[in-house]
Structure 1
């Protein structure tokens, strides 16, 4: 993941995450690097979606 992001490319994949109550869920995430005017990566933005089996 980090090699892809630090190369300036977007990355997509799945994670197992945990809610505050301790329940686990599967999330699909897409992360993209953001660059300043000089082309240097300064931030990353991510979009997450709960893809737990059986979820509408």
Structure 2
């Protein structure tokens, strides 16, 4: 079945995209034609990733 929408989940400082995928799993039944993606931020740190240099 083709997807009709996209949800992009963005994590906070020190986390990773994989940590948000259980949230997508809980929404999948309510949004069956939706693709969920949760990318990792591009900048690694000691605890995970972050989006901006500080």
* TM-score exceeds 0.5: no
Select the structure of larger CA radius of gyration: 1
Which structure has more relative contact order (CA 8 Å, sep 6+)? It is 2
TM-score (norm 2): 0.30
Which of the two has greater strand per residue? 1
Which of the two has greater helix per residue? 2
